[in-house]
Structure formats: C-alpha cells, structure tokens
Structure 1
C-alpha cells in the first residue's frame, strides 16, 4: 500500500510552492488598496499561526501568551516609526509632553536610530522568551501549568503597559504620524510594498520552520513532545530544546508584530489582550496545529470569516467561533489538516493501491 501523500516531503514542499505562488499573484490581480492592506494583515495572522504551530504542534508547548512577543515587537516598531517623525529640535513625542515629561526617556533613545530600533523590536521579545522559557523549562514546568504561567505573564504585561502611561501613552497607545522609512524606501501600508514585505516574511518563516521540523533538532523536539522523560534518559537536555523552539516561535511572533505596526500605524495594550492570544490558538487548532501550512490557512479562514461575517453577527460571532472550535476539538483533533490527511489516506488505500500490494497483503494474511 502506498504512503499517504500527506506525509510525502516532496509533495509538502510542492504544496508550499503552489501556495506562495498563488499569494504572489494577488497584487497583480488586485487593484483595491484597502483590500490589499486587509490581505496583508491576514499575512501577519498567518505568521502568528505558524509560530504557534511550530511551538505547540511540533514542540508540544501550549503558549497562551504569544501576544507578549507580538505586542513587544509591535511596540518596538511603533516607537521606531514615532521617533522617525521627531527631530533634534523636537525630540519628544507629543503624548509624553501631555503626560508631564520634559525630556526623552532613556529607554526611547535607541529607537531614534531606525536600524537599532528594529533590531531591539526583535531582540527584546526573543530575550524574554529565552529567559522566561529557561526558567520554566529548567524547573520542568510544562503542559497546562506552563500555559497558565504564560497567561499570567500576558495579563501582567498588559497591566504594566497601561500603567506606564507617560512612556507608552497607556490605553491610547502609540500612533506614529508617518509611515516607515527604510533609507530611500517608504513602506506605505496600502501599497504593494507592504504586501510583499509581509508575505516575504511569512515565506522566510515558513521555510525556516519547515527546515527545523525536518532536521535532527526537529526530530528530538517531536520526541520530547511525545515522551520527554525518555528523551532525558537518552542524554538530551530537554529544557534547552524546549527553550530554543519557544524562542524561535517568539521571534516569529515579534516579526509579525513589527509588520502589524507598519500596516496599521497604531499599537496599543490591546495587542496584549488575552482574547487575541486565545484567537491565535484557535487559528492553529482549526487549521491543524501539526501542519505549518494548514495552521496558516486556519488563520486566513477564521479571520476572513470574521471580517465578512463578524459585522453581520456582531458579538454572536464569538459564540459561532467557539462552537466550531469545540467541534474541531471533539471530532477533528488534527484540524482541517487532519481531515485532509484522512481523505488522502483513504484514497491511497482504496483508489491508489497497486494490485501487487493487494496480492502481497493476501499472502501475508495466509
């Protein structure tokens, strides 16, 4: 009997190639700037779903606080964009003056340099994941206990960013008055440039994640997901592998946050909202946490449905989404990816079985 095509590595890479080729055709076929910006935002959600698929689906680390890395990255990029609109004669953002500050805080000074600001927007969330992950995993905190700790940290950081109003503008957030400038390149959020920026980031993250899962490192990560104690007995430091995959996932979420700030020109403590981080888990679960590509598609499907059905059903949409999530957990634990895997497996065993395989199976049975 032939192998299920769903598990064929060459076919998987081929499906990725087709998927991104189709995405590359969108700017050439679309002439609506608003819709292009909306689709770019879906790409940001795709990166978040991908990061959770890598961390949760392959690493077995349920992270309910992925919004931390996303929000820190978004704030770092927004601060960089805000400082681009300031000059030496007026170095202090207006909201700081309104909150009684008469000089630029030291923590804001590095963001006056675009390259340094973007670097810090990615470095700080990654370092947070390294430190927090190392502390948790060295103490062998895992499963639902780790998920609860990430949720607690998310709520704590949400409160901190609201309370530090002179530095973060509190619940009002940061609204950079100008678009991002990268040298001579202006990244207009409603242009094809921003679309390519987001989907190139999604492409790079997808390829990196796929290579990780197919490497020896990825094999050990999947092994510790299934039986961490056995992996420890084989001499591997499970905490190091867990911390690394958690940090890589956080870096991808930070990249998504940077792209989000560029697209929306706005960031607020809402990026640390618990419901948003839970939504990321739902995207990955509905699409299929064990499949990188289907996790991305899950984000596209759910957010696309919310955009076009949310206005009609209003708050009822949350109930509808919860209902479908329950159905997936109960009947399709592998998400839509599990359904496709099942269908392809049936086709391989029924319609694509070679006659010789059947004869061999009969002989084996005899």
Structure 2
C-alpha cells in the first residue's frame, strides 16, 4: 500500500523515538526501587523479544531453543559475581562446591576469576555456540520445523546437563551470588536507577542496530531467503552463511539479556533452560508481531505485565489463557498486533477510486460546439 504510513521509514523512526523516550521517562515519575527493578526485568524480556524477531521474523528461522543462549550467559554472569565474593587465597572455592565434595576450583571456573574476563566469556560462549551450531545445521540445509525441533532438543539436553553436574553448577539449587556485581570501583545495585538505565541503553541500542540491520543490504538478503531460499541461492548468495550470521546475532542479543537477568535477579538456576520459557519468547513475538522489532517488544511487555498482575489470580490457568490468546492471534492476526496496526493505517491511507460518470451525448456535442 503506497499510502500506508506503516511502511514510511521516517514515521517508523519517529515511533521508535517516541517509544524509547516514553520508557526513558519512567525513572522521572517512579522512584520505587522495587518497580524500577521490575521495569528493568521487563527490559530484559524486551531484549529476548528483539532476538526472536530478528531470528524468526527477519530470517524466518523458528528457534525454540533461544533459552539456551540466555541460560548460558546468565550462568556465566552468576559465576563472575560468585567469584568476586571469593577470597583467592583463603577461600578460592564457592561453598556449594565444598558441600559437594570438590577440593579444587574447576578449570572453567577460573575463566570467571576476573570481572572483565568473566563478562567476556559469558557473552562469547553462547555466541560461539550459535556460530558453530548454526553453521553445521544451515550448511546441512536443516530448516523449518526440523531446525525448531533440533534447537528445542539441544536446549533440553543442556538444561539436563546443568541440572546433573551438581558439584559444578549447584544443580537444582542454582547459583545465588551473595553480592551485586562490583564494577569500576562501585556496586551495581539491582534496585537502583543505574540498573534500569543500563538495561534501557542496551535495549534501545540493540533495537536500533537491529532495525538498521534489517534495512541494510544484509537484511534485505536475509528477508529474501526467508521467502525463497532457493532463488537466493541461485542468485549466487551463500544462504547458509546469511542464516548463520542472523542466528548468531540473535543469539548474542539473547546472551546480553541473560547477563542482565542475573544482574537484576541475582540468581540463576536450570529454570532458565526451561522449554516453556523459550516457547513463551516465541509467543511474545507472535502476539506483538514477529516482523516488527518494536511490536515484539510490546508483545513481551504486555504478556509479562499481564502475567505479573493476573498470574496470581489465575494461577496455572494463566498458561492456558496465554495459549488460547496465541492461537487466536495466529488464526486471525498472523502478523500480530503490529499487523493489525498496519492494516488499520492502510485503510486510513487508501483513497477511493475515481468514479467515471457517463455524460449525455447532447451535452458533449454542445460543449464541443461552443
């Protein structure tokens, strides 16, 4: 639709500016520490929604295992924070390891002994996993529901592994660092406005980068291969490479969300690898509009906000309500709430076709003779 404001890039960027400006005003009107902590957590969910939108919406890769990258980075950040509280001379080993019979620090835990190295490792490990796993899958032309099933199986396998190696991960009890992250000589209080601003900057920055990415030549190729990968392959593009890159970028954003999650909650457990949580991420994007980064964020905020305020009332029935809502959206709004907005703006921008009026021959003759 040529007159549809939804497709006007200037209007799109204006909406982005207004949306993030409204979020930036939250600390101005709210000074409650608990609410700021909750809003920062919603920002983490927004990051996950952006990662799903890039992978599924832009790239057409249905990833049901995004919780894998999220969980790995969350554990990496928790290990970094735990090592900050350990005395490298008198108490180099976390207490839960001693309780499980370990008498030395495992080699991979030493990677998190320094703050910078720990954060770097927490981000790099999930990203490298996406690069290697995605490269193998897409080179073998595994796509569609087959990739979704494999990603889900990989998530379940890693989650089970983390649960089983209790001496190294504390099993079902998870890791609960005794102190917030110490960085640049200060403490990053999870209930402070600083934590909110950190998540806000990451959410706004990565969303804008994702938007620019989808509007670039790379983004156009990725969207083209989503619709017809064989045609893109015949045009000389390496489809597997583009699929791997968009999958890896998506995984990196999920890893950033995982690090922020641990900073906010100060706890991580195998529940971060829960299959239901990864599927919920897909529901966020599906309801908000997987083709729109901003729509996916709004979907995450609406669903998680509804769960926070309505989940206690409906208890276990909340998941049934959410599932029913998702089915209705997929059936009647396949492009989500963003698609509904697109359709509405399209109707407003449409112009009625001109009506041809037949004129009397006598009138035409008179006009021609005048």
TM range (shorter): over 0.9
Please state how far the C-alpha of 1:185 moved relative to its aligned partner: 2.8
- 1:24 alignment counterpart: 24
**Cα shift readout 1:259-315 (whole Å, capped 9, x = no counterpart):** 000000000010000000000000000000000001000000000000000000100
- 2:73 alignment counterpart: 73
| CA distance in structure 2 between the partners assigned to 1:335 and 1:181 by the alignment | 41
Please state how far the C-alpha of 1:3 moved relative to its aligned partner: 2.2
Please state how far the C-alpha of 1:362 moved relative to its aligned partner: 6.2
| CA distance in structure 1 between the partners assigned to 2:3 and 2:253 by the alignment | 32
Please state how far the C-alpha of 1:2 moved relative to its aligned partner: 4.8
- 1:192 alignment counterpart: 193
Residue 11, structure 1, aligned to residue 11, structure 2: yes
- 1:294 alignment counterpart: 295
Please state how far the C-alpha of 1:35 moved relative to its aligned partner: 1.0
Aligned pairs for 1:108-147 within 5 A: 108-147=109-148
3-state SS of paired residue (2:182): strand
Please state how far the C-alpha of 1:204 moved relative to its aligned partner: 1.2
- 2:222 alignment counterpart: 221
- Please give the TM-score of this superposition, normalised by the length of structure 2: 0.95
**Cα shift readout 1:3-51 (whole Å, capped 9, x = no counterpart):** 2101111111111111110111000100211111111100000000010
3-state SS of paired residue (1:327): helix
Residue 40, structure 1, aligned to residue 40, structure 2: yes
**Cα shift readout 1:312-360 (whole Å, capped 9, x = no counterpart):** 01001111101100000100000000000000000001xxx4xxx855x
- 2:91 alignment counterpart: 90
| CA distance in structure 2 between the partners assigned to 1:167 and 1:201 by the alignment | 30
Residue 181, structure 1, aligned to residue 152, structure 2: no
Residue 59, structure 1, aligned to residue 59, structure 2: yes
- 1:103 alignment counterpart: 104
3-state SS of paired residue (2:244): helix
3-state SS of paired residue (1:49): helix
| CA distance in structure 2 between the partners assigned to 1:16 and 1:322 by the alignment | 29
| CA distance in structure 1 between the partners assigned to 2:216 and 2:63 by the alignment | 23
- 1:280 alignment counterpart: 281
| CA distance in structure 1 between the partners assigned to 2:353 and 2:334 by the alignment | 31
**Cα shift readout 1:150-171 (whole Å, capped 9, x = no counterpart):** 0000010011001111110011
| CA distance in structure 2 between the partners assigned to 1:176 and 1:138 by the alignment | 40
3-state SS of paired residue (1:140): coil
- 1:331 alignment counterpart: 332
Please state how far the C-alpha of 1:238 moved relative to its aligned partner: 0.2
Please state how far the C-alpha of 1:139 moved relative to its aligned partner: 0.3
**Number of aligned positions between the proteins:** 356
- Please give the TM-score of this superposition, normalised by the length of structure 1: 0.96
Please state how far the C-alpha of 1:184 moved relative to its aligned partner: 1.8
- 2:173 alignment counterpart: 172
Please tell me whether Structure 1 or Structure 2 has the larger radius of gyration of its CA atoms: 2
Name stretches of at least 5 consecutive residues in structure 2 with no aligned partner. 358-370
3-state SS of paired residue (1:16): helix
Name stretches of at least 5 consecutive residues in structure 1 with no aligned partner. none
| CA distance in structure 2 between the partners assigned to 1:16 and 1:71 by the alignment | 29
- 1:212 alignment counterpart: 213
